Amino acid sequence: MKRQVWESELSKLEKIPPTKVYDKMKLSFDDLDRKEKQIFLDLACFFLKLSTKINVDNLKSLLKDDKSDNSVIFGLERLKDKALISFSEDNIVSMHDSLQEMGCEIVRQESIEDPGSRSRLWDPNDIYEVLKNDKVTEAIRSIRIQLTTIRGLKLRPHIFAKMSILKFLEISSELDAYGFEVQLGEGPLFLATELRFLSWDCYPLKSLPQNFSAEKLVILKLQLSKMEKLWDGVKNLVSLKGVYLEHSYELKELPDLSKAINLEVLDLSFCYRLTTVHPSIFSLAKLEKLNLRYCGSLTILSSDSHMHSLNYLILDYCKNLTEFSIISKNMEKLDLSWTKQMKALPSSFGHQRKLKSLNLTESGIQRLPSSINNLTQLLHLNLSCCRELETIPELAPSLKTLDFRDCKSLQSIPELPQTLLCLDAENCESLQTLPKLHPYLKTLKLRNCKSLHTIPNLPPSLETLDAQSCSSLQTLPMLPLSLKNINARDCKSLKTMLLLPSTSVEQLRANRTRVLLWNCLNLDQHSLVAIQLNAQISVMNFADHNKVVYVYPGSFVPEWLEYKRTNNYVIIDLSSTPSSPMLNFIFGFVLGNYEGTAIENELTVKITLSDGDGEGERDSVEMIIDYCRWTIESNHVCVMYDRRCSNFLNSRAQNQTSFKIQAQIVLHTYHTLFRKTTVMRPDMVLGFGVSAITSSTYNNFIQQMSMSQFH
């Protein structure tokens, strides 16, 4: 039965009494063979109840009866064909809630009065009674225990020995209950030799039982454990695919894992006391992911062995790591961020030709090996906060993002690859020049590059330019039509911005949405005139945008705004405005000085509507202009369109032709996520203007611009 048919049947079943629904769905279950039924019930009563999802490949290993058992593959396909389960694009199994409930009910019916005699346990109440009264039996195949539901129980260690065929065990803790652990009584702990899946949060002992047979174990998860070691000696771990020991703060060593020949994932993140990694790990041919994040006691990670399958290596915040030399030709992601004792990468580093992402943020790297340009598939290179890095060798030719933020000693950047989409050189205070910018670049961030005097020609694809506080910059080159966001705040030496000629019809194609020129007080008159026209064009082209904001030095409300005054309110009369179901409103403000603060403020303007005489119902809405902590050193003009605010005014205009619009500045300071302070600054608005725009107004403007091209 195909999935569409089943879904149709399930919708019909919703109208049938529950008993009959169960009977009807069970017919499909009864049609399965023994192995298929077992797989279905394991999914319904255990794996689909886990907080983390298990992919299909791991399920195939977990559900096998033995190494040669291939029936699981056929069983999963049969369940899929009968629409009892489905596979997502990322290879995760799911099941309809009604079918899962049916599976759980089938297991309940195995022993209605005695839960301990059922094959699978998941219900907290049933589990509490079974454990409290020592009623577990060898029938139990899987059990899910939530730590918070057995609080106060002291478990006898032998209780696990009674579950001799136990295959799947999860003892889980909610996030807010971490630290609460199982209370074990006196005596040795025995775990079933049949275990395939062992997940035990806050495991309370210093190691796993020495007699524990892990030959059939596929997944081992012991997060937040109190273990100092896993076990002594070498165990046969031929089935093991994943080991997850995150936040095992007391873990000091790993055993010999040389027999874990199928291990794919090893997660040791936040194992603060782990000083070394057993060398057997480097010989694991199938290991794909190794996570050592926050292993702060680790000093060396080095091997001459080639790790054939390793593609994901995480070492961020290994603060004492001084030596790193791991090579894998299949490595795709390497994170060495915040490894402050790391001074250099090995010269052979360029052999990892499949590397796509390299993160060296806040590392102690002083130089990069010249072989880095051999990384022909490298897409993302992050060198932010490498404060001792002075020079960069030739870069990989495939890069799309390049991050040099806070490389304060960096004086120059080598030739950029033509594939580059984003260059971030924020706070590179020693950077004096930039190389040629290639055609595909979309984002250029140069904030606080105080030694930068010029910017090369901007590519035609550029969308964002952030040159805030480039205090030596005197000229911005020709701004391409593609450029949407320009931030030149506090460029106090800036004299010239090169825009297309003010009469050029080409400007109508520009889609600028945010241009911030706070404190650019040395801009020449020609640049200011061009900026003012550009602002008018951009707010007229608001149809494709939710918001347009222009800020530039000035003391006068733009002449082209229909209603304007030298205070903070206007009264508009729309009686002669052509009827339109949708009026759009454009705003202009003159803002006075503002003394900056140490805390960033949200600079907003509050628009309040009332009757023409200022009486009657008052409504208000706020528009965000910018986020600021800097000082506004002189008067500035702000021209903006905000769709939400415009819609707010339009709703008033549909019922009232004349009303008063008042503007005042509001500063919001967010101290925490849930606490803010608000300061009203009506004195900052020194002039205010509004225009109501209809389609005919816009068309007339376009026509005038087009005609000006020929005069």
Q: What is the largest CA-CA distance in the chain?
A: 98
Q: Per the structure block, which two tokens stand in for 64? A: 């096998």
Extract the runs of DSSP E, i.e. beta strands, from 173-298: 183-184, 197-200, 219-221, 242-244, 265-267, 289-291
Section 558-570 average pLDDT: 91
For the cut 90, the answer to whether the pLDDT of residue 52 exceeds it is: no
Query: How much is the pLDDT for 74?
Result: 92
Section 616-631 average pLDDT: 84
For the cut 90, the answer to whether the pLDDT of residue 593 exceeds it is: no
Section 13-34 average pLDDT: 72
Q: Which of 280-294, 310-324, 415-429, 620-634 has the lowest mean pLDDT?
A: 620-634
CATH topology of domain 3-108: Arc Repressor Mutant, subunit A (1.10.10)
pTM, to two decimals: 0.87
For the cut 60, the answer to whether the pLDDT of residue 273 exceeds it is: yes
Contact indicator for 135, 129 with CB cutoff of 8 Å: yes
For the cut 90, the answer to whether the pLDDT of residue 177 exceeds it is: no
- pLDDT > 70 fraction of the chain, expressed in percent and rounded: 91
What are the residue ranges of helices labelled H in 33-136? 34-45, 56-62, 71-81, 97-108, 124-132
Q: What is the spatial distance between Cα 379 and Cα 361, in angstroms, rounded to a whole number?
A: 16
605: nearest Cα among 587, 624, 619:
624
416: nearest Cα among 438, 432, 401, 433:
438
What letter would DSSP give residue 647?
Answer: H
Query: How much is the pLDDT for 48?
Result: 96
Burial class from Cβ neighbours inside 10 Å (0-12, 13-18, 19+) for residue 443 reads middle
Higher pLDDT, 702 or 386: 386
- pLDDT > 90 fraction of the chain, expressed in percent and rounded: 66
CA angle centred on 577, ends 574 and 580, rounded to 5°: 105
Query: How much is the pLDDT for 15?
Result: 45
Q: How confident is the model at residue 537 (pLDDT cuts 50, 70, 90)?
A: confident
Q: What is the spatial distance between Cα 262 and Cα 239, in angstroms, rounded to a whole number?
A: 6
For the cut 50, the answer to whether the pLDDT of residue 1 exceeds it is: no
Section 411-419 average pLDDT: 94
Section 94-107 average pLDDT: 93
Q: Which residues contact 113 (CB under 8 A, 6 or more apart)?
A: none
Instruction: Give the model confidence (pLDDT) of 494-510 as tens digits.
Output: 999 987 654 556 666 67
Q: How confident is the model at residue 17 (pLDDT cuts 50, 70, 90)?
A: very low
Section 683-710 average pLDDT: 78
Q: How confident is the model at residue 51 (pLDDT cuts 50, 70, 90)?
A: confident
For the cut 80, the answer to whether the pLDDT of residue 21 exceeds it is: no
- Cα of 310 vs its chain's centroid, Å: 24
Q: Per the structure block, which two tokens stand in for 167? A: 């295959």
Section 398-424 average pLDDT: 95
Q: What integer best gives the mean pLDDT of the chain?
A: 89
Query: How much is the pLDDT for 76?
Result: 94
Query: How much is the pLDDT for 675?
Result: 74
